Amino acid sequence: MTISGFIPTTSYMALCMMGVAILLAAVRLIRGPSLPDRVVALDLISILVAGTIAIYAIASGQAVFLDVATILALIGFLGTVAFARYIEKQASNE
């Protein structure tokens, strides 16, 4: 197998694995026994989607998608921090 055939093959395999990981994280998001479990699952989904976009950028050869992945990762991080502060304030009020 040449290098030109190796990158698309591994990219599609990685995309399939990321899809399975997103589905498993979605199950944890829906079934999560507590709010912190759901927050962690939502953060994991946002990071997996950013990774999926990055893999697609490599497979398609279009670097513009890397900007989208970076912005999505930053927004996911800020959302996780906001949820953590909310949970912390909610726990301190009880």
* pLDDT tens column, 17-55: 999 999 999 999 999 899 889 999 999 999 999 999 999
Alpha carbon distance 58, 14 (integer Å)? 11
Which domain, by its residues, includes 44? 3-93
Domain total for the chain?
Answer: 1
Residues sharing a CB contact under 8 Å with residue 83, sequence separation 6 or more, in sequence order? 39, 42
Instruction: Note the pLDDT of residue 43.
Output: 94
CA angle 24/62/9 to nearest 5° reads 55
User: Are 91 and 40 contacting, i.e. CB atoms less than 8 angstroms apart?
Assistant: no
User: Taking the complete model, does pTM exceed 0.75, yes or no?
Assistant: yes
Is the confidence at residue 78, as pLDDT, over 80? yes
Residues sharing a CB contact under 8 Å with residue 17, sequence separation 6 or more, in sequence order? none
